[in-house]
Amino acid sequence: MQTHFWYNGSGDNLKFQFDNPYYVVARDSSVAVTELIFNGSDTINLVNIPEDATKVELFRNGIQLDDMVIDGTEASVNSTAIEDNYQVVYQAFIYNVVNDVKYLLIETPVLDIPFGYRYLAFYGEPSGDLPTFQELELTLTNGTYIKYGNRVDVVPPVETKEWEYHLERNDLSDIFDGDKAWNDRLMYSLYNETSSNRNRVRFYFDCTTKRDVQSGAFWCYPHPTDHSWTIGNLYGTNTDPLNFTDATSPTEWTYIIDLTRYTLGSS
């Protein structure tokens, strides 16, 4: 709600107050809207701040956070305010402060940030030295999917480090290509890996915004002692893994779910 205040000449006595419930955002599409924008992982930006604004108060679920610092016509707050993985709502109140008196200029529309993680990763515990990975399918809580043929937008998977692969079977596009047969799948070579370096986060992908995963499955070779994985888990984070000390370590990530393990040819 936009509130207007009129004071006497000396500014120390409120003469008239007018609440205008219709002036929340600009109605003219040619006028830039003052609003909060979420970058999908760890930053909220407040854009198109009025030139006469001198103070911004940011609220999360009705509780005030630290004031946002105005820099020209924008302000931002980093992951210290949004690092937890909960569904939350944010709103900003923008003021002009004169002689320690706050004059509300704009109340932004509410920004709803969903539950979930922006970056999703596969953690595997292999059996043998040549574990294969055929396919990954995830079901989200909103009824959509991350899988071949029916997938919300995600950035193609990338390695958590430069792994060794058997016979150059290193094409990560196989992860979401719909082929659950043998056909020279993604195949790791662990002959040179130490025992402590085998149970690792192997790859991840950027969902561009938070995604809440309900369940998932992966496909691998059926051999009980070689070419396979005994355990596959899904991990997530809202921090860019490029900033991790070791993106292969599960301690850098947050556990989400156990993945159902299927073998080649299973549907």
Please say if the pLDDT value at position 28 is more than 90. no
The contacts found for 141-144 with CB under 8 angstroms, 24 or more apart, are 141/212, 141/213, 141/214, 142/212
Domain architecture of the chain: domains with CATH: 2-113 (2.60.40), 117-263 (no CATH)
pTM of the model: 0.70
Q: Mean pLDDT, to the nearest integer, of 47-74?
A: 78
Pick the closest to residue 53 from 92, 13, 17, 9 (CA basis): 92
**Per residue in 128-174, pLDDT tens?**
899 999 999 999 998 999 999 888 889 999 999 999 999 889 999 99
pLDDT tens digits, 214-239 = 999 999 988 767 788 999 999 999 88
Q: Are 233 and 257 in contact (CB under 8 A)?
A: yes
Q: How far apart are CA 84 and CA 67, in angstroms?
A: 19
Which of 224 and 38 is assigned the larger pLDDT? 38
